[in-house]
C-alpha cells in the first residue's frame, strides 16, 4: 500500500517535510494569544471565553494524542497527518467565523483534534527513519523548526489581524494550512518491521509504562510544562497591554520566544546525547521558575519583556527532546508515539488549567498575579520530580531489536 510514495521516504525528506509541518502547526497555534483581545471585543466576551476555547483545544489535543500516536505506531504517520491537516484547517476557519461562545469552543476543539495529527506523530516518523545515534539530534532539529515557524508566523498573523480583522485573518490562515496535505506524503511510512519476538499487546504496553515510576514522574513534570506554555502563550500579550505596552510588543515577545527556542530545542536535543535527560528537564523547570519570579518582581517595560521572552524562549519547547528521548530510551521506539501521547495528555491537562485559569482569574480579580505565582511553584515542583528519574532501558529481548 502507498508504494508510489517510496521515493519520498528518504530520511532527509521525512525530516524536511516534518520540520515544515511542525513550523506551520506550532507557528500558527502560538499566534493565538494576539487574537485574545480582538476576538473578545468583537464578540463582546470576557477573556475567560477565549481562554476556555484554547484550554479546551489543548485538552482535546491531549486526549486524542495517544490515539493518534497508537495509529501512527501501528500503520505509520501518513494517514494521521492527512486527517489532522484537514481538521486543523477546518478548526481555524470555524474559530474565525463562529461568534457564539459554544461555537467558538467547539471549533477550538476540532482544531485541537487536528493538532494531534500534525505534531507528535511526526516525531515518531522521524525517529523511525534514522538510526539510534541520530534520533536525539533529529528531534532537536525538527523542534527547532517548529520554533522558527513561531518566529515567522507571529508577525505574519499580526499583519493579517491588523489588515483584515480577526475573522478573515483566521480564514486566510486556514487556507495556508492546506499546504500540510502535500507535506503529508513523506509521512506514509513503509510497514514497520516485525521483531523476532511477539509484539506486546496494548494492555501489556500500558501495564509496562504505568508500573514504571519514572514514566509517572515524566508525566507530572510535563503537566507543569503545559501549564506554563499555554498561560504565557495565551495571556502574555494581554498582560503586557494591561501594563501599558503596545500590541506589537506582545507579538514581538511571542516571536522572540520562538526565535530563542530554536537554540533551546536544538541544544536540548544535542545535550540529550551527552548527559542525563532528566537532569536537563530539572534544569529547565527550575530556570523557568526563577525567570518568572524575576520578571514579575521588576517593573514591566519593553526591555524586561524582551529579556523575559529571550530567556523563556530558550526553555520553551526544549522539554520535548529530553522527555521524548527518555521515553524512547526506556521503552524503545516502537510504541514511542503512543507512550509520548499519554505523557502529552498530562501536558495538555496542565495547558487546560493554565489557559483557562488565566482568563478566569483575570475576569474575577482584574490581574494575572495569582497565576504567575502558581507558575513559579509548579516550576520548582517540576524540577524536583524530574531529577530522580532513571534513564535506563527496560531489559527485555524485544528491546534488543529496537
pLDDT (tens digit per residue) in 270-328: 787 788 999 999 999 999 999 999 999 999 999 999 999 999 999 988 898 889 888 88
What band does 247 get if pLDDT is binned at 50, 70 and 90? confident
- Residue 23 and residue 26: Cα distance in Å, rounded? 6
pLDDT band at 397; cut points 50, 70, 90: very low
pLDDT average, residue stretch 110-114 = 94
What pLDDT was estimated at residue 399? 44
Q: Which of 28-42, 118-132, 193-207, 346-360 has the lowest mean pLDDT?
A: 193-207
pLDDT of residue 7: 60
Compute and round to an integer the Cα radius of gyration of the chain: 20
* CB half-sphere exposure, 382, CA atoms < 13 A: 32
Q: How many Cα atoms sit within 13 Å of 228 on the Cβ side?
A: 32
Distance between CA atoms of residues 255 and 264, nearest Å = 14
Quote the pLDDT of residue 396: 56
Look at residue 402 and tell me whether its pLDDT is greater than 50: no
Give the pLDDT score at 191. Answer: 59
180-213 core/surface letters (b: 16 or more CB in 10 A; e: else): beebbbbbbbeeeeeeeeeebeeeebbebbeebe
Give the integer Cα–Cα distance in Å for 314 and 338: 27
204 or 64: whose pLDDT is higher?
64
3-state secondary structure of 275: coil
Average pLDDT of span 230-246: 93
| pLDDT(394) > 60 | yes
pLDDT value for 146: 82
How confident is residue 102, by pLDDT bands cut at 50, 70 and 90?
A: very high
What pLDDT was estimated at residue 2?
A: 53
What are the contacts of 88-91 at 24+ separation with CB within 8 A?
Answer: 88/25, 88/114, 88/115, 88/117, 88/118, 88/177, 88/180, 89/114, 89/174, 89/175, 89/177, 89/178, 89/180, 90/114, 90/174, 91/57, 91/174
**9-26 residue pLDDT tens:** 688 889 999 999 999 999
The pLDDT confidence band at residue 5, using thresholds 50, 70 and 90, is: low
Total-model pTM? 0.81
> Residue 134 burial by CB count (10 A; 0-12/13-18/19+): exposed, middle or buried?
middle
The DSSP code sequence of 97-156 is: H--SHHHHHHHHHHHHHHHHHSSHHHHHHHHHHS-HHHHHHHHHHHHHHHHHHHHHHHHH
Task: Please compute the mean of the pLDDT values over residues 25-39 and round it to a whole number.
Answer: 90
Q: What would the pLDDT profile of 210-233 be if each residue is shown by its tens digit?
A: 888 999 999 999 999 999 999 999
Per-residue model confidence as pLDDT tens digits over 77-97? 889 999 999 999 999 999 998
**What interhelical angle do 320-331 and 132-176 show, nearest 10?**
130
Average pLDDT over residues 378-386: 96
- For residue 363, pLDDT over 70 is answered with yes
Q: 273: which residues sit within 8 A by CB, 6+ positions away?
A: 133, 136, 137
Amino acid at each position: 500500500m502507498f508504494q508510489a510514495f517510496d521515493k519520498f521516504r528518504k530520511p532527509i525528506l521525512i525530516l524536511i517535510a516534518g520540520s515544515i509541518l511542525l513550523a506551520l502547526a506550532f507557528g500558527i497555534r502560538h499566534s493565538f494569544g494576539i487574537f485574545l483581545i480582538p476576538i473578545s471585543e468583537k464578540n463582546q466576551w470576557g477573556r475567560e471565553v477565549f481562554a476556555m476555547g484554547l484550554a479546551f483545544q489543548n485538552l482535546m489535543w491531549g486526549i486524542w494524542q495517544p490515539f493518534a500516536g497508537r495509529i501512527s505506531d501501528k500503520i505509520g504517520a501518513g494517514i494521521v497527518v492527512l486527517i489532522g491537516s484537514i481538521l486543523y484547517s477546518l478548526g481555524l476557519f470555524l474559530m474565525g467565523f463562529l461568534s457564539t461562545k459554544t461555537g467558538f469552543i467547539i471549533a477550538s476543539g476540532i482544531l485541537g483534534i487536528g493538532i494531534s495529527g500534525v505534531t507528535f506523530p511526526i516525531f515518531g516518523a522521524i525517529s523511525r527513519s534514522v538510526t539510534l545515534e541520530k534520533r536525539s539530534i533529529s528531534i532537536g532539529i525538527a523542534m527547532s523548526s517548529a520554533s522558527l515557524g513561531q518566529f515567522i508566523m507571529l508577525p505574519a498573523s499580526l499583519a493579517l489581524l491588523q489588515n483584515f480583522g480577526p475573522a478573515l485573518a483566521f480564514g486566510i490562515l486556514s487556507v495556508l494550512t492546506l499546504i500540510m496535505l502535500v507535506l503529508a506524503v513523506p509521512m506514509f511510512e513503509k510497514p514497520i518491521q516485525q521483531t523476532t519476538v511477539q509484539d506486546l499487546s496494548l494492555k501489556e504496553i500500558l501495564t509496562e509504562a504505568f508500573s514504571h515510576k519514572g514514566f509517572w514522574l515524566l508525566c507530572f513534570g510535563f503537566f507543569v510544562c503545559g501549564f506554563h506554555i499555554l498561560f504565557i502563550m495565551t495571556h502574555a500579550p494581554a498582560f503586557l497591554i494591561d501594563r501599558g505596552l503596545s500590541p506589537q510588543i506582545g507579538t514581538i515577545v511571542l516571536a522572540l520566544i520562538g526565535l530563542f527556542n530554536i537554540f533551546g530545542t536544538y541544544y536540548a536535543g544535542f545535550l540529550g546525547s551527552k548527559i542525563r535527560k532528566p537532569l536537563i528537564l530539572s534544569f529547565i523547570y527550575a530556570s523557568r521558575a526563577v525567570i518568572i519570579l524575576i520578571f514579575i518582581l521588576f517593573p514591566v517595560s519593553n526591555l524586561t519583556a524582551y529579556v523575559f521572552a529571550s530567556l523563556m524562549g530558550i526553555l520553551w519547547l526544549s522539554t520535548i527532546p529530553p522527555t521524548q528521548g527518555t521515553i524512547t530510551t526506556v521503552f524503545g521506539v516502537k510504541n514511542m508515539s503512543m507512550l509520548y501521547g499519554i505523557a502529552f495528555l498530562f501536558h495538555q491537562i496542565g495547558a487546560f488549567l493554565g489557559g483557562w485559569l488565566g482568563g478566569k482569574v483575570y475576569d474575577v480579580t482584574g490581574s494575572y498575579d495569582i497565576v504567575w505565582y502558581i507558575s513559579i511553584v509548579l516550576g520548582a515542583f517540576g524540577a524536583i520530580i524530574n531529577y530522580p528519574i532513571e534513564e535506563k532501558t527496560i531489559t527485555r529481548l524485544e528491546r534488543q531489536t529496537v
